């Protein structure tokens, strides 16, 4: 067991050794480091072949054709390309979008940018369990709605949306459907065809791949229009100019290839560890589970612990790498907007801990984490004022 128990896999994961090995094969002087666009020589063609294998591996995890996969720098860029690119392309058709209040900032901030450009955005409020019902989406659609954006799995509370039902609804109404699957891909099944997803944002580093690479799956039939964010060499069918980082792309491909083969066993084992963790923490009085009890990704557990302040709890857990919310929002010092959207008070939202389990965690680490949290909560509650009536 390492000195610090890492339970922040929703923020990022350690690269799988098989991923590292594949990446190293593309970095050194003897490796496939050439520019994959330089297909005029064998080294470039070897790099191109590795990129195309990675493209096929990424596509296979989500039921797409390889030609649908556009590599990006990560899910944030993929979300921005999907939302800004589609809205700007179809702006003459309509200027209304629908999303939810609990999306990742990569989606919410892209939507706010579109509002500055004259678009209207409807932000749906999930239920107290974090679920956005398809009927809510249906009620929000208008004649001028061009895009619905809904995340597959929430990064703070781990709730999984019914993207298939929302996708079918959007397809029947002729509205584009974008899904941010950064947290869900490789953990829960998702299929762009079955789930009627037109634009699917992916990242490598949440599924034991490298940081700095992601992808956007774009519907091909019928062809979907996007205005690119970057201009330059015209790589990735002109949608994402810039030299492809072969080692990063290959790392993502290997991570997704592993996920195709091991998602079932990983999910069963990690889900079991999460239940073990939840049962242990639930023995503390005043502990609440955030989000739907069953419609969730295996690895993420968000708990509100009444009577302790989140930052103080983190400080009291030096042996655990956990989060008081999402890593993307922790620096703000504000209570989680996701938990507030679910109806938690500011006080309870500030008393929240996110623990997220990955492929390399063990039952012994879970037990040690439970013990550490019990001890820290007991000590913090001991110094807290007795609540006033």
Partner 1 sequence: MASLTGAGEFPSSPAIATGVAGSREQGAELVLQCRIVDGRVAEARFRAFGCPHLLAAASWLTERLPGLARDALERWDWREAADALEVPPAKFGRLLTLQDAVRSVARNWPGPAASTV
Q: Beta-carbon neighbour count of residue 100 at 10 Å?
A: 26
Interacting residue with partner 1 among 149, 350, 356, 361 (CB under 8 A) = 350
- Find the shortest distance in angstroms from Cβ 386 to partner 1: 7
Contact 307, 349 (CB under 8 A): no
Q: Is 309 in the site for partner 1 (CB under 8 A)?
A: yes
Q: Is 154 in the site for partner 1 (CB under 8 A)?
A: no
Residue 185, sorted as left (phi over 0), alpha (psi -120 to 50) or beta, turns out to be beta
Q: Which is nearer to partner 1, 144 or 334 (CB)?
A: 334
Displacement of CA 359 from its chain's centroid (Å): 16
Tokens of 218: 């774009």
Q: Which is nearer to partner 1, 143 or 382 (CB)?
A: 382
Q: Is 311 in the site for partner 1 (CB under 8 A)?
A: yes
**Which of these, 169, 167, 229, lies nearest to 198 by C-alpha position?**
167
Interacting residue with partner 1 among 110, 316, 339, 369 (CB under 8 A) = 316
Residue with tokens 């330059």: 232
Main-chain phi, psi angles of 176, to 5 degrees: -65, 145
Interacting residue with partner 1 among 2, 118, 382, 389 (CB under 8 A) = 382
72 Cβ partners below 8 Å, 6+ apart?
A: 78, 81, 213, 214, 215, 216, 240
Q: Euclidean distance between the first and final Cα of the chain, in Å? A: 45
Q: Is 29 in the site for partner 1 (CB under 8 A)?
A: no
Q: Is 109 in the site for partner 1 (CB under 8 A)?
A: no
Q: Is 312 in the site for partner 1 (CB under 8 A)?
A: yes
Contact 188, 297 (CB under 8 A): yes
Query: Active-site residue 196, yes or no?
Result: no
Q: What residues from 279 to 308 belong to the interface with partner 1 (CB under 8 A)?
A: 307-308
Instruction: Give the bridge partners for 147, in sequence order.
Output: 97, 176
Q: Is 387 in the site for partner 1 (CB under 8 A)?
A: yes
- Find the shortest distance in angstroms from Cβ 293 to partner 1: 27
The one segment of 75-83, 198-206, 293-301, 342-350 that binds partner 1 by CB under 8 A: 342-350
Interacting residue with partner 1 among 41, 194, 237, 347 (CB under 8 A) = 347
Contact 290, 303 (CB under 8 A): yes
Q: Which is nearer to partner 1, 234 or 319 (CB)?
A: 319
Cα(355)–Cα(317) distance, integer angstroms:
12
Contact characters 239-258, partner 1, x per CB under 8 A: --------------------
Catalytic residues: 328
The residue ranges that bind partner 1 (CB under 8 A) are: 307-309, 311-312, 315-316, 318, 333, 335, 345-347, 350, 376, 379-380, 382-387
């Amino acid at each position: 067991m390492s000195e610090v128990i890492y339970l922040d896999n929703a923020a990022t994961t350690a690269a799988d050794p098989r991923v590292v090995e594949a990446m190293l094969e593309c970095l050194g002087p003897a490796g496939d480091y050439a520019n994959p666009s330089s297909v005029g020589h064998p080294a470039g063609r070897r790099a191109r072949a590795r990129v195309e294998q990675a493209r096929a591996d990424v596509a296979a995890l989500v039921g797409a054709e390889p030609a649908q996969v556009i590599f990006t720098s990560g899910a944030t860029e993929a979300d921005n390309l999907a939302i800004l690119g589609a809205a700007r392309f179809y702006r003459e058709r309509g200027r209304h979008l629908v999303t939810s209040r609990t999306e990742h900032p990569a989606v919410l901030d892209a939507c706010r940018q579109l509002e500055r450009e004259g678009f209207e955005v409807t932000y749906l409020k999930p239920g107290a369990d974090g679920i956005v019902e398809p009927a809510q989406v249906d009620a929000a659609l208008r004649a001028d709605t061009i895009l619905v954006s809904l995340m597959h799995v929430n990064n703070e509370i781990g709730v999984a949306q019914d993207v298939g039902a929302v996708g079918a609804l959007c397809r029947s109404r002729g509205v584009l459907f974008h899904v941010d699957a950064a947290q869900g891909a490789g953990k829960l099944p998702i299929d762009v065809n079955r789930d009627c997803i037109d634009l699917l944002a992916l990242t490598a580093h949440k599924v034991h791949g490298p940081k700095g690479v992601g992808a956007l799956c774009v519907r091909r039939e019928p062809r979907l229009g996007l205005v690119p964010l970057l201009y330059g060499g015209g790589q990735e069918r002109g949608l994402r100019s810039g030299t492809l980082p072969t080692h990063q792309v290959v790392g993502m491909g290997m991570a997704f290839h592993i996920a195709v083969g091991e998602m079932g066993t990983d999910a069963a084992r990690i889900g079991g560890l999460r239940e073990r963790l939840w049962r242990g923490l639930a023995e503390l009085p005043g502990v609440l589970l955030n989000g739907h009890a069953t419609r969730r990704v295996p690895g993420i557990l968000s708990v509100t612990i009444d009577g302790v302040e989140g930052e103080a709890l983190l400080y009291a857990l030096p042996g655990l790498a956990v989060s008081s919310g999402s890593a993307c929002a922790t620096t703000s010092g504000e209570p989680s907007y996701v938990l507030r959207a679910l109806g938690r008070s500011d006080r309870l939202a500030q008393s929240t801990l996110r623990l997220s389990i990955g492929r390399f965690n063990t039952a012994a680490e879970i037990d040690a984490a439970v013990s550490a949290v019990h001890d820290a909560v007991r000590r913090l509650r001991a110094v807290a004022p007795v609540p006033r009536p």
